[in-house]
C-alpha cells in the first residue's frame, strides 16, 4: 500500500495550502468531548441522585458535591481559557491584565455562584412540564426523560456563558443538546420562567429571540429571522413572545419586530411574520383540503 504513503504527503500539502488546521503548540480550542463531559457533570450537580449509578445519601452528599464542583471548576476553567485565548488571537477580545487564565477563573467562579439561581429556574420549568403534559406521571419522569426539559436545562447553562461573552462554548453546548433532542435553541435567546417544550423535535429558537414566562412550544416551531444578511447580525432578528403564550406544532414566527402578545395562542402550522395582539388565537384555515373517495 505505497499509495497510503503518498496520500499522507498530499494531505500534508492541503494542510499548508488551504487551512482548516488548528494548532499552536497545545490544545487550543475547547474540545467537543470535554464540553460534553462538563455538561454531563453539571447535569449531575443540578439534579443530584437522578443521574448517578452509585448511591447518594445525606452523609455523603456534601463530599460528592464538593468533589464534583472542584472537578468541574477545573475542567471549565481550562476550556473557558482556551475559548478566551482563541478570541484574543482572533482579535475580538482582550483578557485584561490578569491574562486569560485569571479571566477564566473569574467567569467560572461566578458561574458556580449562579448555579443555585439556575436550579431555581429549572424547578419552575420542571413544574411547567409536569402541568403541561397530560402524559407526565411524575416530576421525576420529567427530569429523567423529557427532551424539552433537557434542552432548557442546557440552554440555561449555555446562556450564562453567552452573557459572559465566552466564545464557542455556548454554541457547542447548545449543539450538544440539539443533537440529542432536535431542539435548536441559540444560546443568545432570552427565555423567561416556567418554559415548556413538548416533544420538541425540529424547534428552532433564534439568537435574538425574547420569550416571556409560562410559554409553551410544541414540536417543529420556528422562531426565526426574516433577513439572513450578514450585515444585520447585530440587530434583533427574531421574534418576541410575551408571557403565557402557547405555540402549537410546526408554527413559524419570523422577524425581529414580530411580537406575539401576552396570552395568545398560535395554532399548528400557522405562518406569522407580523405581530399578534395579546389574547389572540391564530389558526390557519389550512387552504382547502380535498377528500377523494377511492374505489377498492
Residue 203, classified by CB atoms within 10 Å of its CB into exposed (0-12), middle (13-18) or buried (19+), is buried
Residue 101 is a binding residue for a copy of itself (CB under 8 A): yes
Report the residue from 42, 143, 152, 260 that binds a copy of itself according to the rule CB under 8 A: 143
Site residues for a copy of itself, 49-88, by CB under 8 A, read 49-67, 69-71, 73-74, 77, 86
Report the residue from 96, 123, 163, 190 that binds a copy of itself according to the rule CB under 8 A: 123
Report the residue from 36, 213, 236, 250 that binds a copy of itself according to the rule CB under 8 A: 250
Residues linked to residue 216 through DSSP beta bridges, in sequence order? 196, 246
Q: Using alpha carbons, select from 77, 65, 80 the residue that is nearest to residue 30.
A: 80
**Cβ(251)–Cβ(234) under 8 Å?**
no
Quote the CA–CA distance of 220 and 8 in Å, as a whole number: 44
**Cβ(148)–Cβ(200) under 8 Å?**
yes
Residue 95 is a binding residue for a copy of itself (CB under 8 A): no
**CB closer to a copy of itself, 143 vs 240:** 143
Count other Cβ atoms within 10 Å, centred on residue 239: 28
Nearest distance in Å: CB 34, a copy of itself: 7
**CB closer to a copy of itself, 52 vs 192:** 52
Quote the CA–CA distance of 84 and 156 in Å, as a whole number: 20
First to last CA, the chain: 62
Burial 84-117 (b: 16+ CB within 10 A, else e): bbbbeeeeebebeeeebeebbbebbeebeeebee
Nearest distance in Å: CB 295, a copy of itself: 7
Site residues for a copy of itself, 35-54, by CB under 8 A, read 45-54
Residue 295 is a binding residue for a copy of itself (CB under 8 A): yes
Report the residue from 94, 96, 145, 163 that binds a copy of itself according to the rule CB under 8 A: 145
Nearest distance in Å: CB 12, a copy of itself: 6
Q: What is the DSSP letter of 97?
A: T
Nearest distance in Å: CB 164, a copy of itself: 15
H-run or E-run covering 56 = none
Residue 5 is a binding residue for a copy of itself (CB under 8 A): yes
Residue 243 is a binding residue for a copy of itself (CB under 8 A): no
Report the residue from 44, 105, 193, 243 that binds a copy of itself according to the rule CB under 8 A: 105
Site residues for a copy of itself, 156-215, by CB under 8 A, read 167-168, 171-172, 174-175, 178-182, 184, 186, 188, 198-199, 201-204, 206-207
Residue 292 is a binding residue for a copy of itself (CB under 8 A): yes
Amino acid at each position: 500500500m505505497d499509495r497510503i504513503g503518498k496520500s499522507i504527503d498530499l494531505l500534508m500539502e492541503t494542510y499548508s495550502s488551504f487551512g482548516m488546521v488548528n494548532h499552536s503548540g497545545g490544545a487550543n480550542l475547547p474540545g467537543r468531548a470535554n464540553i460534553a463531559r462538563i455538561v454531563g457533570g453539571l447535569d449531575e450537580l443540578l439534579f443530584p441522585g437522578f443521574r448517578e449509578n452509585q448511591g447518594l445519601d445525606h452523609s455523603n452528599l456534601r463530599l460528592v458535591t464538593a468533589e464534583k464542583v472542584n472537578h468541574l471548576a477545573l475542567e471549565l476553567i481550562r476550556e473557558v481559557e482556551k475559548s478566551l485565548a482563541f478570541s484574543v488571537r482572533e482579535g475580538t477580545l482582550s483578557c485584561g491584565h490578569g491574562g486569560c487564565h485569571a479571566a477564566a477563573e473569574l467567569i467560572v467562579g461566578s458561574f458556580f455562584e449562579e448555579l443555585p439561581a439556575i436550579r431555581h429556574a429549572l424547578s419552575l420549568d420542571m413544574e411547567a412540564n409536569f402541568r403541561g403534559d397530560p402524559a407526565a406521571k411524575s416530576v421525576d419522569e420529567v427530569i429523567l426523560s423529557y427532551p424539552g426539559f433537557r434542552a432548557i436545562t442546557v440552554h440555561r447553562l449555555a446562556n450564562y456563558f453567552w452573557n459572559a461573552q465566552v466564545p464557542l462554548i455556548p454554541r457547542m453546548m447548545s449543539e450538544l443538546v440539539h443533537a440529542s433532542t432536535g431542539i435548536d435553541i441559540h444560546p443568545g435567546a432570552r427565555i423567561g420562567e416556567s418554559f415548556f417544550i413538548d416533544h420538541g423535535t425540529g424547534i428552532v429558537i433564534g439568537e435574538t429571540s425574547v420569550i416571556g414566562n409560562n410559554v409553551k412550544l410544541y414540536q417543529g416551531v420556528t422562531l426565526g429571522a426574516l433577513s439572513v444578511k450578514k450585515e444585520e447580525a447585530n440587530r434583533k432578528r427574531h421574534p418576541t413572545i410575551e408571557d403565557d403564550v402557547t405555540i402549537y406544532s410546526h408554527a413559524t414566527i419570523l422577524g425581529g419586530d414580530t411580537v406575539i402578545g401576552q396570552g395568545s395562542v398560535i395554532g399548528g402550522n400557522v405562518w406569522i411574520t407580523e405581530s399578534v395582539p395579546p389574547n389572540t388565537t391564530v389558526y390557519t384555515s389550512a387552504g382547502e383540503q380535498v377528500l377523494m373517495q377511492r374505489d377498492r
